[in-house]
Structure 1
Amino acid sequence: MGRELRAERVPLANVTNWEETGVISFATDYLGRPKVHQPNNKIMKNTTQGIFGLFFAGTLVLASTGAQAQCTTWVNPTPATGWVDFNTNFGGAPCDDGTGCPFNEITDFEVFADEAYRMDNVQAGGSYTFSACNGTGGTAWDLYFTIIAPSGAVDASGLNDGSICELTWTASESGIYLIVVSEDGACGTSENADVANGFPAITCNGVSCPAPQPGCTTWVNPSASTGWTDFNTEFGGAPVPDNGTCPVNEITTFEVFADEAYSMENVVAGTAYIFSACNGTGGTAWPLYFTVINPNGIVDAHGLDAGSTCSLTWTASASGTYLIVVSEAEACGVSENADVANGFPAITCLGNVGIDQAAAIGGAFRIYPNPTMGLFTVDLQGVRTSANDRLEVLDISGRRIVSEQLGADLTKRVDLTAQPAGSYFVNIHQADRVLREKLVLVKD
C-alpha cells in the first residue's frame, strides 16, 4: 500500500502515562527542539510535597532545599513532558554491567532552567546521581533538581549538601522518571530558560544491570521506545469481553512490518489476549515473532503459539498500557523486512469466564486431544447443559468454522482436518454465559 499509510499512526510513549487519578491517558510524542533535545510524552500532575533525606552507601545524604521545597512546574519540552536524549543516547538510566557504573553525559548542549528530562529503566532501590557539573557547571544561575517517580511522587529535590550542581537519590519505584531542572527560587518562572548552565549527566552507585529479558525488546518504529497507537485510536485499546464474547479488532489499512511496536491501552490483568497477523499476507513473507511487554517493562510472553505462524496468546500480568513488538524471527531489531508487509495486525481476548470461574458455577468443559491433528472431542460432563446450548468453533480471525446445537449430547466429536494449522477457539454458548477453550491444530 505504500509507506504513506504510516503517517496515520501516532507514536505513543512505551509504557504508561500518569495523571492525578492514576488513570492512563493518551498523549502524542513531540519531536524537535532547537539543539538536539527530543521530548517524551510522560504526563505527571499533583506530585506530593515534602523534603527528602536519602541514604547512600550507608551515609545520610540530605537534599538541600534552597529557597523552595521542590519544583514540579516546568515549561520545556512541554509543561508535562521530558526530553528523551538520555533514552536515545544511552538507553535510559545507567547500570553496572560488571565494569562499574558509567557516567553518561550529554555534551551537545547544556541544561536550561524550567525543563525536564525523561529517564527510562530506573530500578527501584537503585542509587543515582543527576548532575550538570561540567561545562558552565551551575555557575550561570542557581540549579535546583526535582526527581519525580513513575507514580508522580517526588523522590528527592534540591541538591546534595555542599554541592552546586548534583543531586543523589534512591529510587522508590522502577520505571520511567522525570528529572526537572529549575532555577532555585524561580520554579517554572525563571528568566534563564535559554541560559546554558552545565552538561546534563547521570550515573549510578552500585546498581547492577538486570538479567537480559527474553524475547525481542529492540525495535525501530515509530521510535525505539514508542508504539503505534492505531489500536487505541480506532478501538479504544485492548478488547473488552461482552457477555463472555470478545471482539476481534483488526486493522486492515496496513499490514505489520518487522521491527515495530504497537501500543495497547486498557489491558486488564488476568485477562487472556491473542495478538495476530494471520490475515492478509498472514505471516508468509517472513517468519513472525511477537514480544509482549507489560507496563512495568517486563516481558509477559514472546514467540508464537504452538503450531501457529502468526499468533501469540498470553495472560496479562498487569493492568495498563502494553507494548507489542513485531519482529522477524532471529533478526531482533535488525531485520531487512522493516518495509515488507506481513499480515493485518489484530487483537482479541478469550472472554472473562475461564476454567476456574466456570468450575465455580458448574461449567468446566474439556477438549481432547489438544493439540489435535484435526479430530477432537468436546466433553461436557462437568457442564450445566440445556437443549438450547450451541457449540461454536472460531479461527484466530474470528471466522466461524463450526456452529451447531448440542441438544442433550454430553460429548461431541468435531473434525477440523480440512482447516489449516493454528489456534482456534471452542465456545459453548448458553443462556447466561459463554464458555471458551483454546484449541491448537497441528499438521504433519
Structure 2
Amino acid sequence: MSARRTELSRRGFLTGSLLVAAGTVLTSACSTDPTGAAGSGARTTLNVWYHAYGEAGTQQAVLRYATAFTKAHPDIAVKVTWVPGDYAGKLNATLLTDAAPDVFEIGDFSESLARRGQIAALDDVYGSARSDFNTNAVDSVTVDGKLYGVKMIDDVMMLYYRKSALAKAGITPPADYDGLVASAKALSTGRSKGLFLGNDGLGDAPILAVWSNGGELVAPDGTVGFGSPQALEALTGLKRLHDDKSLLLGFTTDWWDPAVLTQGVVPMQWCGLWAMPAVKSALGDDFGVLPWPSYKPGGTPAVRVGGWTSCVNAKGKKVDAAKKFVQWLWVQQADLQKDFAESYGFHVPPRRSVAATAKKLSEGAAKETVTLADRYGKHNPGTWDTAVSATFSAAAAKIAAGDGDPAALMAAAVKKAQGEIDKQRG
C-alpha cells in the first residue's frame, strides 16, 4: 500500500456515497453528512469505504450486503462510500481527519497503520473462526501477535502455460528454476519469446526469486532480509533469463492482462487468478498453472497472494459497531463471502471452508490454484510500502541487466530500505 499522501477534495470522491438504513438504500449523498438516518431509527451510522472495483456488479453487491446487515441490525445504518481514482492516497489523507471512515479496505496490509494506533485489533472479531482462515490470511494481518484486519478476498498470482505448446516442444512443466530458464529458452524461436513476466522483464520475479530460495524480504522483527546470501544468489540468477533473450518485453498491456497468452504471443506468462475466466474462454482446457519454481531442486516454490483486507478505524467513535459490521460480513456470512469472491471477477475466499464450497473453484486449474495458494502462498510483508519496494526493485533491475556488482547493489538497497522500515516502526 502506498505511503504517499495526497491532497483530498471533499467534492472529488464522495460522489459515490449511498446510505443504507433499516435494510433500505435511503439516499445518494454528495457530502460527508448522510441524510435520512435519523428517521430510520438507527442510532449509529457507519461510513464504510471501498475502492472502485473494476468488475461489474461489485458496487451493487456491497450495497446489498449493507442492506442485509441493517435488516439484522436496524440500529446501525451503513453509508457505503465508493472511492474512484487514487484510493490509497485519498484514504491515507482522510485518515488524518475527522472525516475518516469507520471501516475501510486496504490492498497489501500496512503494518504502520497498526503501530500508530490507526486500526483496531480484531482478535475478538474472529472468535472460533480464526482457525478456518488460511495461514497466509492470518499471518498477513498479524502485528506483534494481534490481528488487525480480516481478509476479504485472496488474489493469487502464478504461472500460466499452454499445454499444447510445451507438449509440442517436448517440455515438461518446470519444477525448478533451471527448468524454467531452459523451458523459456527452448520455447523462444525467432522473434517469438518463451515467457512474459511484465513489460519491464521483471514483474514479481525478484520477490519470487527471494522466496524460492528460502529467503525473506523483511523478517518479522523488521530486519531487511533480501540481502541474505540465498536471496542474492536467486536474484543474480534472474540475469540468465535476460541473457538468453527469452523474455517478451514491451507488450501492449502488462503482466496483469492475459492477452499475451490468449493471443498466442507467448506460451508462458505470470498473471493472476482473476484472468482465468478469460484464459479459459480463449484456450479451453489448453492451459495449466504452476507456482514460481524453487530456485534449486527440493526447494520451496512460491505463489504471491495479494487481495483486500477490511480494517476498523481505532480512532473513530464507533469502533464497536464497526467491529460488528466486519464480523457479520467477513466472518459470519459464508454465502456473501463466496458471492463476493466468485461472482464479480475471480478470487479465492480466505476461509478454507468457504473456498471448499465455491463452485467455480471446485475443479480444473481453478482448484489447482487454490491448492497452490494454500501450500505455497506468500504475501508481501506489512512494511513493504512504496519506498521499500521501489528500492528493492531498482536494485533487482540493475542486477538482472548486469549493471553493476550484485552484492554492492543489494547492500546499498538493504541499507536504504532498512532506514525506511525503521521510520515506519518508529
Q: TM-score range by the shorter chain?
A: under 0.3
Structure ranking higher in strand proportion: 1
TM-score (norm: length of structure 2): 0.21
TM-score (norm: length of structure 1): 0.20
Structure ranking higher in helix proportion: 2
